[in-house]
């Protein structure tokens, strides 16, 4: 049973084809620069096979997906003899608003609900929809599912998701905390409970997803009770180019003083802030860490601000859950940066967090593990995230009837 997972961004299409009998990756790749000059497809057979690049014009998402499907059945580079071998397609969809607390099979109602959420995620939901529409045209009989970034956080209590604005803005405009990276927080918190050998229903886990975007979640008994990203993915932690939490009055001050339009301030906060804005050097932690701690003053400062914010959230989420069994680091930085993990954990011993610095140094590049000292009361784990596998698993559960097709709840 093969399942294709698609993650359609504004100018890219990520894909992975899974054989769900053993959950192995048959092929994967990335279509770059969709609808732009210089588009190309990086494709590989298997999870770690050699990458080869197809330099071809990709005019839009439908064209990109068509070319991916052709690659999958191509004699030389492909892995299937016919597209009939793909039983279903699972899509990552960024925003499901309050309508979706689980993954669902796509029908007209789902499509219209995803369209209703475009206002919340104007950069993400439209390309997600384009991917779904393209598959409907290219493979009309195949079942499709939507797996939402926001769904896992729908369990947050009202006190966590409401902002202290006039209540009308929630009632009328649905302005509230939604949270993102839900698929990753779900996968990682569950895996952390497995690693600790405690039932997921009783585990209190803080998951730190530190990648291009960064968010942190408090997962209590298998449900998200709070998370750092908010109405949009701008709130919370310091990120590569996003500012995370700031005093909202700063926005008004800058807009007035520098006569910036809403689009210009949006651009400043999303694209020119974070560690890029602070250091003036790079948005990539790998650059800022090179030579650390004997790096430039500004690079060190950016790394400090980035790590301090994570520590602050960890402390507050321990308070939110009234305890914590483990902190789980994941995604590009979380899985690969002993430096960030050590700065974050250094002064958390009062709360029971103690890491073994040698183990920390050795745990990266795909190595998973517990990096705590034996006497640590709160364990510190490094866990590899796998959002694509979760999308494939949910899709399989939906088409085989283990999840309700319209709510995603276990049947």
Q: Classify residue 50 by its DSSP letter.
A: P
Stretch that binds ligand AMP, among 113-121, 331-339, 341-349, 355-363 (CB under 6 A): 331-339
Count of residues binding ligand AMP (CB under 6 A)? 12
245 catalytic residue (yes or no) = no
Secondary element (H or E) of residue 159: helix 158-161
Residue with tokens 């000059």: 37
Q: For residues 148 and 97, give the distance between their C-alpha atoms in angstroms, rounded to a whole number.
A: 9
Q: Which of 337, 360, 363, 386 binds ligand AMP (CB under 6 A)?
A: 337
Nearer to ligand AMP (CB atom), residue 286 or residue 377: 286
Q: What is the dihedral of CA 315, 220, 114, 43, to 10 degrees?
A: 80
Nearer to ligand AMP (CB atom), residue 151 or residue 303: 303
Q: For residues 315 and 311, give the distance between their C-alpha atoms in angstroms, rounded to a whole number.
A: 6
Cis amide prior to 293 (ω within 30 degrees): yes
Q: How far is the CB of 31 from ligand AMP (least distance, A)?
A: 17
Which residue number is nearest to ligand AMP in terms of Cβ? 332
Q: Which of 115, 202, 286, 377 binds ligand AMP (CB under 6 A)?
A: 286
367 contacts ligand AMP (rule: CB under 6 A): no
Secondary element (H or E) of residue 66: helix 61-73
Q: How far is the CB of 14 from ligand AMP (least distance, A)?
A: 11
Q: For residues 208 and 327, give the distance between their C-alpha atoms in angstroms, rounded to a whole number.
A: 7
Q: How far is the CB of 288 from ligand AMP (least distance, A)?
A: 8
336 contacts ligand AMP (rule: CB under 6 A): yes
* DSSP per position, 210-265: ESSSEEEEEEETTEEEEES--SSTTSSS--SS---S--HHHHHHHHHHTT--HHHH
Q: Which of 245, 284, 349, 356 binds ligand AMP (CB under 6 A)?
A: 284
Stretch that binds ligand AMP, among 31-39, 51-59, 292-300, 325-333 (CB under 6 A): 325-333
Task: Build a one-symbol-per-residue string for 202-221: x at contacts with ligand AMP by CB under 6 A, - elsewhere.
Answer: ---------xx---------
Q: Which of 269, 331, 351, 376 binds ligand AMP (CB under 6 A)?
A: 331
Stretch that binds ligand AMP, among 100-108, 222-230, 314-322, 333-341 (CB under 6 A): 333-341
Q: Which residues contact 207 (CB under 8 A, 6 or more apart)?
A: 184, 185, 188, 189, 192, 216, 217, 219, 328, 330
Q: For residues 217 and 208, give the distance between their C-alpha atoms in angstroms, rounded to a whole number.
A: 7
Q: Is 205 helix (H, G, I), strand (E, B) or coil?
A: strand
Stretch that binds ligand AMP, among 30-38, 106-114, 226-234, 285-293 (CB under 6 A): 285-293
240 contacts ligand AMP (rule: CB under 6 A): yes
Nearer to ligand AMP (CB atom), residue 30 or residue 132: 30
Stretch that binds ligand AMP, among 189-197, 312-320, 327-335, 394-402 (CB under 6 A): 327-335
Pairing outcome for strands 326-330 and 204-210: parallel
Choose, from 19, 107, 149, 349, the residue flagged as catalytic.
149
The catalytic site residues sit at 149
Which residues in this chain contact ligand AMP in the complex, by CB under 6 A? 211-212, 240, 284-286, 289, 331-333, 336-337
């Amino acid at each position: 049973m093969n399942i294709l997972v698609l993650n359609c961004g504004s100018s890219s299409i990520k894909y992975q084809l899974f054989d769900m009998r053993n959950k192995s990756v048959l092929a994967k790749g990335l279509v770059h620069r969709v609808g732009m000059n210089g588009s190309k497809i990086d494709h590989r057979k298997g999870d770690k096979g050699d990458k080869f690049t197809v330099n071809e014009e990709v005019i839009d998402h439908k064209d990109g997906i068509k070319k991916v499907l052709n690659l999958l059945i191509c004699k030389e580079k492909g892995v299937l003899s016919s597209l009939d071998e793909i039983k279903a397609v699972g899509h990552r969809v960024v925003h499901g608003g309050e309508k979706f607390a689980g993954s669902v099979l796509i029908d007209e109602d789902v499509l219209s609900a995803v369209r209703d959420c475009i206002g919340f995620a104007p950069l993400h939901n439209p390309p997600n929809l384009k991917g779904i529409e393209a598959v409907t045209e290219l493979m009309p009989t195949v079942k499709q599912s939507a797996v939402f970034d926001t769904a896992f956080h729908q369990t947050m209590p009202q006190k966590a998701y409401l902002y202290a604005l006039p209540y009308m803005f929630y009632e009328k405009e649905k302005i509230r905390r939604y949270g993102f990276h839900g698929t990753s927080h779900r996968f990682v918190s569950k895996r952390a409970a497995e690693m600790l050998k405690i039932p997921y229903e009783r585990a209190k886990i803080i998951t730190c997803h530190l990648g291009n975007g960064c968010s942190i979640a408090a997962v209590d008994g298998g449900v998200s009770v709070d998370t750092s990203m908010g109405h949009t993915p701008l709130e919370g932690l310091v990120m590569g180019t996003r500012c995370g939490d700031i005093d909202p009055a700063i926005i008004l001050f800058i807009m007035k003083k520098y006569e910036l339009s809403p689009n210009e301030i949006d651009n400043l906060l999303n694209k020119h802030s974070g560690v890029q804005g602070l250091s003036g050097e790079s948005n990539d932690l790998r650059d800022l860490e090179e030579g650390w701690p004997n790096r430039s003053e500004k690079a060190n400062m950016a790394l400090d601000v980035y790590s301090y914010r994570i520590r602050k959230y960890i402390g507050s989420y321990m308070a939110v859950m009234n305890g914590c069994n483990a902190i789980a680091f994941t995604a590009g930085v979380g899985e690969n940066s002993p430096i960030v993990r050590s700065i974050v954990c250094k002064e958390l011993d009062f709360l029971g967090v103690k890491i073994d610095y040698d183990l920390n140094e050795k745990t990266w590049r795909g190595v998973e593990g517990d990096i705590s000292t034996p006497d640590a009361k709160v364990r510190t784990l490094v866990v590899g995230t796998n959002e694509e596998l979760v999308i494939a698993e949910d899709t399989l559960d939906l088409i085989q009837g283990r999840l309700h097709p319209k709510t995603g709840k276990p049947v």
